[in-house]
Amino acid sequence: MKVYEALAEAFVREGTSHVFGMMGDANMHWMAALADRGVHLYEVRHEGSGLGMADGWARGAGRPGVITTTSGPGVSQLATSMIVASRAGTPLVAFCGETPLGDEGATQYLDQRRFAAAIECEFIHVTRPENAQEAVRQAFYLARTESKPVMISAPFDVQVAELDDYDEEYLPSTTLIRTSRLLPDPVDVEAACDLVQNAKHVVIIAGRGARKADSGEQILALQGQTGALLATTLQAKNWLCDRTDFHVGLSGLFGDKTSMELLQEADCVIAVGASLNHYTIESGYLYPEAKYIQIDTAPHLVMGNGRTADCYLQADAVSAVAELTRALKERSVRLEGYHTDAVRQHLTARFQPPAQYVREPGRLDPREAIWILDHELPGEMGLVLGSGHQTDFGTMLFQRSRDVLSNYGMFGAIGQAPLIALGQLIAQGNRPGFVVEGDASFLMHLSEFETACRYDVPLLVVVMNDQGLGAEYHKARAKGLDPELATISTPELGTVAQALGGGGATVRTPQELRDALAEYVRAPRPTVIDVRITREVLSTPYRRIQYGEDV
């Protein structure tokens, strides 16, 4: 057996079913061996785009995604997407071909170990045939247990060598991983009870870790016991919002004024699977009088206000929240807290649209566009949010219960969201979903819309098109610079999408947007809706950050 065959077989034994990437001299044998074994290969137009798709696939499937490249320039294309995946904590394995060992004069030579370190990626080198299978097992083990990207770098001469001692009984990395619940220390549970018992207004902040642990039922039970408001971090946006009347949406910079005023009354914050970074707690200013209880599997965390929680429970979310609720019941502690008719009415008012939208001929108010999207697209359609100024509107204003994945803050790279959305939809069996992204961001990886068309993935790309670099436009204006330097005209992207084989429309009025959405819902297919928006509406976070407004 050739080494590349053994490597391919090991990937299959690790559960690899989908691989994204681009074929080249140094990975073509391995890709062919995977195809022979029934693995779905998704050929992309750019290796970095393929990694973005593998990132989204991993997030959608809940197991490591796989990307492949040839040697040298194929590897160097991974940089931005790899750092995004690293910052997102995505489990990934990159199979990268390499020039023959010792041939530093090869055209495609690159010190791939040093490059991997620079882009925040673990590195495993296949230097001998006999360590090929173990390299795969180690890579998947690290990806699974540490939730991060790992590069397997396989020189071409090693790949085509014979493997004399092939292990027929290859055991995948999953056999090495022991899964068990991490129970909280009873002393810490009692300390947390003391803080809750002495509180009047409790806030529960649920983060990505809580959602991943599927601790929703336990959190709702704790909320009922404590009369708490339920808020989420950006990475758990809208989670459980359809399960309680006392859900305030996002905690932090992207929260609305009504929610912030209520949250500032809190004297006890219970964070579940949330790191409480400075965005979530506004560096501590959002909860000025609160004591903090933090539940996380990490041994230790420092919050965004520069200090540790008053009570830290190192435990999994399900166990810790259930134990805290049980202990409160044993003490007969049950708080009314925020659970009043007055608070319920305040929270209901959050869902009302603005009294008046900005009307500019041929351009929509971005707030109205988001309102229409949220109401016209079915709740079972998942949403991926990108980055940049236009994303602030969707981050704040999408209110319906739906799966939301935000790429905000993951290295601050524009253009990643459509790639992540595409991979996620493939992982979910090609069910319809949508991404909201800016025009500059979408055009950065325009070629991959053709990939969506080629594989008939029913991705709806909603381009919030202000014909420019929106974030830079508004920042330049705030800093007294010429904002026109950040404007870039774009063609009608709906027509471009049609030329690439998909559906498309360019819309300039609310009714045109409704009509385009209705067409997609009627017959989902790869589609771009180019929504022309006004630049005259500044997002709430920008008003707060750039102008210091209390809104």
CATH of 3-176, one of 3.40.50.970, 2.20.130.10, 3.90.25.10, 2.40.37.20: 3.40.50.970
- CA proximity to 31, closest of 54, 51, 55, 11: 11
CATH 3.40.50.970 occupies which residues in the chain?
3-176, 366-547
Along the 551 residues of the chain, how does pLDDT read in single tens digits? 999 999 999 999 999 999 999 999 999 999 999 999 999 999 999 999 999 999 999 999 999 999 999 999 999 999 999 999 999 999 999 999 999 999 999 999 999 999 999 999 999 999 999 999 999 999 999 999 999 999 999 999 999 999 998 888 999 999 999 888 899 999 999 999 999 999 999 999 999 999 999 999 999 999 999 999 999 999 999 999 999 999 999 999 999 999 999 999 999 999 999 999 999 999 889 999 999 999 999 999 999 999 999 999 999 999 999 999 999 999 999 999 999 999 999 998 887 888 799 999 999 999 999 999 999 999 999 999 998 999 999 999 999 999 999 988 899 999 999 999 999 999 999 999 999 999 999 999 999 999 999 999 999 999 999 999 999 999 999 999 999 999 999 999 999 999 999 999 999 999 999 999 999 999 999 999 999 999 999 999 999 999 999 99
Other CB atoms within 10 Å distance of the CB of residue 403: 18
Topology adopted by domain 366-547: Rossmann fold (3.40.50)
- CA proximity to 84, closest of 55, 64, 114: 55
CATH placement of domain 186-349: 3.40.50.1220
Taking the C-alpha atoms of residue 407 and residue 234, their distance in angstroms, rounded to an integer, is 9
Whole-structure pTM over 0.75, yes or no?
A: yes
- Contact between 363 and 390 under an 8 Å Cβ cutoff? The reply is no
CATH 3.40.50.1220 occupies which residues in the chain?
186-349
Taking the C-alpha atoms of residue 38 and residue 41, their distance in angstroms, rounded to an integer, is 9
Taking the C-alpha atoms of residue 181 and residue 177, their distance in angstroms, rounded to an integer, is 13
Taking the C-alpha atoms of residue 343 and residue 326, their distance in angstroms, rounded to an integer, is 26
Taking the C-alpha atoms of residue 403 and residue 384, their distance in angstroms, rounded to an integer, is 8
User: Helical H runs in 338-438?
Assistant: 341-349, 366-376, 389-397, 417-427
Residue labelled with tokens 């981050």? 395
- CA proximity to 525, closest of 546, 547, 505, 550: 505
